[in-house]
C-alpha cells in the first residue's frame, strides 16, 4: 500500500523528485527548513530508511501520515545511516535531535534512541555517557516489563564495564542477560551476542577454557541460523582465545577467515579488531614485518573513523613491537601516543560516574526487593484482618500492624545506612587516594627525568616530599582497612591487661616521624605501672588518630601532651595540643558519623575518616569520650579505659 501511494505521489509531483540524488544530499536539503519540497524529501528519506531496515519497530501507514512524527523518523533514520557509515559524530548529532521529537508516552521509541546514543558513545570512548543511556533504557525496560529490552540494556552495561576493566560487574550483568535470552529460545541471535560478550569477559579474567565453551556454543548457533556476518565476529572472538594459548598457526587461519567475512560485509570496526589480532599473532610467531603491516593498517583505519579505544590498543601494541625489535625511537613515539589517548579515555570523571551508577543500580535492586517484601507483607496483613475480624481479636491485629511498621522502618534504616556508607567509601577512594598517588608519580617522574641535573639538596627535598606523600597514603590506607574491618565485623573488641605507659610509648614511636616534620614535641605524662584493660588494635588506632589530629593542628615547634587521670573504676587518657583550637559550632560535628576534611596548620590534607573510626571504636568498647577546646589556645580529646586489677 505504501509503495502505491509513493508511486502516485511521484506522478503528481510538479517537478521530477530529486532523482539520482544521494542520501547525504537529501539530508542537506531536508535541513533547509524553508525548502518547498521538504515534506517530499522527508518521505523519500523515510522510505529509504525503511528499505534499509534502520528502525527497530514496525511503522504503520497511520504512523507515516502523522506529520509531527516525520521529524523523528528522519532524524532517527539519519542517525542510523551515519552510524553504519562509521560517521559517529554526525550520528550522535542526529540522535540527539531525534530525542525531543519523540512523544513522551512512546517509551519504546525513546529506548530505541537511547540505545543508538549508547552504542555511538561506546564507539567514541565516552563510557560515562554510554552508561547513562544504558541505565535509562534499563529503567524503561522494567517499566514496560520488556525482557528483550532489559537484556539489551544489561548487555550494554556489561560491555561498558568490560571496556573500563570492571570485569566482575561485567560478568554479573551479562549472566543476567544470558538468563533472559535462554528463556526466549525463539531467536538465538541475541543469545549468541551475549555468549560472545561473556567469552570476552572470561578472557580478560584469564579463564580461557570457560571462554572456549561459550564461544563454541555461539558459533554453532550462528552457523545453524546462517548468520555469516556474526560467524565472523565469533571467529574473531575465538582467535583471542587461541592468542592466549599461543596457537599461532590456528589463530592465523581463524583470523583470515574472519577478515574475509568482514571485508565482504564492509564491517570496518570488526576488520580493525582482526588486524590487531593478526598483528599480535605474527608478533608472537616472530614475523615482525607482517605484524607491523597489520597494525599500521589498523591504526590508519582507526584514525579515519575516530575509533579511539581501539586506536589506543593498537598503538600500545606497536609500542611493544618496536620495543621488542629495538626500534627505540619509534617505541617512544608510540608509547607517548598510546599514553595520551589512554589518559583521555580513563579520566577521573567517567570513573567516578561508573561508581555512582553502579551504586544506583544496586540501590535500585534493593528497593525493588523491599517493594516485593512490602507487597507480600500487605497480602499477609489482609489475610490477618479477615481472620481476626471473624475472631474479633482486634488486639492481635494491632500487634501485627505495629510489627509490620517496625520491619519497614528497620529495612529503610538499613538501606539508608548502606547507601551512605558506600557513598562515603567511594568519595574517599575516588578523591583522597588520588592526591598522594599523583604526588608520588610527579616526584618520581621528576627524579627519573632530571636525576643527573638536580643537586643533592634538591634530591633530598624531593625524597622528603615522596616520603611525606607515602606517609599520607599509608595513613589513609590503614584507616580504610580499619573501617572495612569494622563494617564487615572482623575487628572484634578483645581487651587484655596492659601497661598504659608502655602502650602509649609504642604509639608515640610510630607517629614520631610525623611530629618531627613540624618539630612538635610529644610529652608523655603517665605513671609507670598504670594497668588498664585495652584491646591492642583498638587502642593503637584511637590514640594514633588522636595524636595525628593534634600534630596536624599544632603550630611548628609546638607541644602535645599525653596524660592520664584516675577515676573510680576508669583511667582517663587525655591528648592536648596548643594549636588553632575548634570553634564551638564545629565541635558538635567532630564525632558524628560523617567525614569532615579540614587542612592542618601547614596545609596538611585529610579525609576526616580518622575521627569517624575513633568514634566507632570508642562506642564498641563502651568508652566515654570528651572534647574541650578554646579557639586559638588548646584542644583536649579524652577517653576512658577500664582499670585492671
CATH topology of domain 492-642: Heat Shock Protein 90 (3.30.565)
70-93: average pLDDT = 83
Report the range of poorest mean pLDDT among 20-24, 44-48, 215-219.
20-24
H runs (alpha helix) in 265-393:
268-284, 288-305, 308-324, 328-345, 348-391
Would you say residue 9 has pLDDT above 60?
Answer: no
Higher pLDDT, 603 or 290: 290
CB 573 within 8 A of CB 641: yes
Tens digit of pLDDT for each residue in 524-579? 999 988 899 988 888 988 898 899 888 988 999 999 999 999 888 899 999 999 98
Pairwise CA distance, residues 123 & 116, whole Å: 11
pLDDT at 260: 92
CA-angle at 71, arms to 69 and 74, nearest 5°: 110
Pairwise CA distance, residues 347 & 344, whole Å: 6
Would you say residue 69 has pLDDT above 60?
Answer: yes
Higher pLDDT, 262 or 369: 262
Pairwise CA distance, residues 507 & 560, whole Å: 14
Higher pLDDT, 222 or 363: 222
Tens digit of pLDDT for each residue in 502-530? 999 998 998 888 888 889 999 999 998 88
**Within 13 Å, how many C-alpha atoms sit on residue 155's CB side?**
23
pLDDT at 253: 93
Would you say residue 7 has pLDDT above 50?
Answer: no
Report the range of poorest mean pLDDT among 322-336, 371-385, 534-548.
371-385
pLDDT at 94: 87
Would you say residue 170 has pLDDT above 90?
Answer: yes
Whose cell is 509503495? That residue is 3
Cell, residue 161: 564495564
Would you say residue 350 has pLDDT above 60?
Answer: no
Tens digit of pLDDT for each residue in 453-477? 777 777 777 676 676 656 655 656 6
**Within 13 Å, how many C-alpha atoms sit on residue 19's CB side?**
5
Pairwise CA distance, residues 438 & 441, whole Å: 5
| Collapsed DSSP state (helix, strand, coil) of residue 494 | coil
Higher pLDDT, 117 or 378: 117
DSSP annotation of 52 reads T
Closest CA to 561 of 571, 545, 574, 579: 574
Provide, rounded to the nearest whole percent, the portion of the chain with pLDDT above 90.
22
Higher pLDDT, 552 or 613: 552
Would you say residue 29 has pLDDT above 90?
Answer: no
Would you say residue 329 has pLDDT above 70?
Answer: yes
Would you say residue 366 has pLDDT above 70?
Answer: no
Closest CA to 159 of 142, 177, 141: 177
Pairwise CA distance, residues 186 & 58, whole Å: 19
| pTM (2 d.p.) | 0.42
610-625: average pLDDT = 83
Tens digit of pLDDT for each residue in 185-209? 777 888 888 998 998 899 889 898 8
Whose cell is 544470558? That residue is 178
CB within 8 Å of 374: residues ≥ 6 apart? 408
**CA of 279: how far to CAs of 33, 165, 267, 337, 645, in Å?**
49, 23, 18, 18, 75
Would you say residue 21 has pLDDT above 60?
Answer: no
**Within 13 Å, how many C-alpha atoms sit on residue 470's CB side?**
9
Report the range of poorest mean pLDDT among 25-34, 493-502, 629-638.
25-34
Pairwise CA distance, residues 207 & 209, whole Å: 6
Q: What is the mean pLDDT of the chain?
A: 80
Would you say residue 2 has pLDDT above 50?
Answer: no
Q: How confident is the model at residue 356 (pLDDT cuts 50, 70, 90)?
A: very low
Would you say residue 246 has pLDDT above 50?
Answer: yes
**CA of 52: how far to CAs of 49, 75, 84, 356, in Å?**
5, 15, 11, 38
Structural domain spans, the chain? 1-102, 349-483, 492-642
* Residue 390 Cα to chain centre, angstroms: 55
pLDDT at 131: 92
pLDDT at 481: 66
Amino acid at each position: 500500500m505504501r509503495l502505491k501511494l509513493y508511486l502516485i505521489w511521484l506522478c503528481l509531483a510538479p517537478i521530477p523528485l530529486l532523482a539520482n540524488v544521494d542520501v547525504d544530499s537529501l539530508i542537506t536539503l531536508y535541513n533547509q527548513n524553508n525548502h518547498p519540497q521538504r515534506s517530499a524529501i522527508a518521505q523519500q528519506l523515510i522510505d529509504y530508511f525503511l528499505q534499509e531496515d534502520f528502525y527497530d519497530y514496525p511503522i504503520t501507514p497511520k504512523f507515516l501520515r502523522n506529520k509531527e512524527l516525520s521529524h523523528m523518523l528522519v532524524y532517527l533514520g539519519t542517525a542510523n545511516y551515519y552510524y553504519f557509515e562509521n560517521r559517529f559524530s554526525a550520528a550522535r548529532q542526529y540522535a540527539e535531535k531525534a530525542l525531543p521529537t519523540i512523544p513522551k508516552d512512546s517509551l519504546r521509541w525513546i529506548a530505541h534512541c537511547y540505545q543508538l546514543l549508547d552504542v555511538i558513545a561506546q564507539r567514541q570512548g565516552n563510557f560515562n555517557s554510554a552508561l547513562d543511556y544504558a541505565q535509562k533504557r534499563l529503567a524503561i525496560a522494567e517499566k514496560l516489563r520488556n525482557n528483550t529490552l532489559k537484556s539489551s540494556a544489561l548487555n550494554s552495561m556489561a560491555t561498558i564495564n568490560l571496556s573500563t576493566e570492571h570485569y566482575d560487574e561485567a560478568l554479573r550483568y551479562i549472566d543476567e542477560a544470558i538468563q533472559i535470552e535462554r528463556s526466549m529460545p525463539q531467536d538465538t541471535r541475541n543469545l549468541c551476542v551475549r555468549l560472545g560478550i561473556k567469552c570476552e569477559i572470561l578472557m580478560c579474567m584469564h579463564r580461557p577454557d570457560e571462554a572456549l565453551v561459550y564461544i563454541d556454543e555461539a558459533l554453532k548457533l550462528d552457523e545453524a541460523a546462517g548468520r555469516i556476518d556474526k560467524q565472523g565476529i565469533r571467529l574473531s572472538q575465538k582467535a583471542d582465545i587461541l592468542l592466549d594459548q599461543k596457537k599461532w598457526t590456528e589463530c592465523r587461519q581463524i583470523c583470515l577467515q574472519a577478515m574475509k567475512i568482514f571485508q565482504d560485509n564492509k564491517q570496518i570496526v570488526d576488520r580493525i579488531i582482526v588486524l590487531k589480532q593478526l598483528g599480535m599473532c605474527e608478533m608472537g610467531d616472530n614475523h615482525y614485518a607482517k605484524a607491523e603491516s597489520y597494525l599500521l593498517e589498523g591504526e590508519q583505519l582507526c584514525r579515519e573513523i575516530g575509533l579511539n579505544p581501539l586506536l589506543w590498543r593498537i598503538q600500545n601494541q606497536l609500542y611493544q613491537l618496536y620495543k621488542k625489535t629495538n626500534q627505540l625511537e619509534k617505541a617512544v613515539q608510540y608509547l607517548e601516543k598510546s599514553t595520551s589517548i589512554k589518559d583521555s579515555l580513563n579520566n577521573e570523571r567517567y570513573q567516578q560516574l561508573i561508581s555512582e551508577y553502579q551504586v544506583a543500580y544496586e540501590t535500585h535492586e534493593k528497593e525493588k526487593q523491599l517493594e516485593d517484601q512490602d507487597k507480600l507483607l500487605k497480602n499477609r496483613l489482609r489475610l490477618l484482618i479477615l481472620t481476626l475480624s471473624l475472631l474479633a481479636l482486634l488486639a492481635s491485629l494491632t500487634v501485627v500492624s505495629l510489627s509490620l511498621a517496625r520491619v519497614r522502618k528497620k529495612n529503610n534504616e538499613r538501606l539508608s545506612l548502606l547507601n551512605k556508607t558506600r557513598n562515603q567509601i567511594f568519595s574517599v577512594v575516588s578523591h583522597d587516594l588520588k592526591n598522594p598517588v599523583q604526588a608520588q608519580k610527579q616526584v618520581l617522574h621528576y627524579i627519573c627525568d632530571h636525576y643527573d641535573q638536580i643537586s643533592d639538596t634538591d634530591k633530598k627535598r624531593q625524597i622528603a616530599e615522596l616520603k611525606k606523600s607515602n606517609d599520607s597514603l599509608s595513613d589513609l590506607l590503614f584507616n580504610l582497612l580499619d573501617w572495612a574491618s569494622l563494617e564487615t565485623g572482623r575487628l572484634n573488641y578483645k581487651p587484655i591487661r596492659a601497661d598504659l605507659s608502655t602502650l602509649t610509648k609504642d604509639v608515640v614511636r610510630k607517629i614520631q616521624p610525623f611530629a618531627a616534620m613540624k618539630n612538635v614535641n610529644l610529652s608523655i605524662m603517665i605513671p609507670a605501672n598504670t594497668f588498664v584493660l585495652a584491646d591492642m588494635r583498638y587502642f593503637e588506632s584511637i590514640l594514633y588518630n588522636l595524636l595525628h589530629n593534634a600534630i596536624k593542628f599544632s603550630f611548628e615547634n609546638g607541644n602535645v601532651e599525653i596524660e592520664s587521670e584516675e577515676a573510680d573504676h576508669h583511667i582517663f587518657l587525655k591528648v592536648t595540643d596548643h594549636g588553632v583550637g575548634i570553634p564551638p559550632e564545629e565541635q558538635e560535628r567532630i564525632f558524628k558519623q560523617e567525614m569532615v576534611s579540614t587542612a592542618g596548620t601547614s596545609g596538611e590534607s585529610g579525609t576526616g575518616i580518622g575521627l569517624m573510626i575513633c568514634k566507632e571504636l570508642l562506642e564498641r568498647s563502651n568508652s566515654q569520650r570528651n572534647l574541650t577546646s578554646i579557639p586559638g589556645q588548646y584542644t583536649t580529646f579524652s577517653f576512658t579505659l577500664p582499670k585492671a586489677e
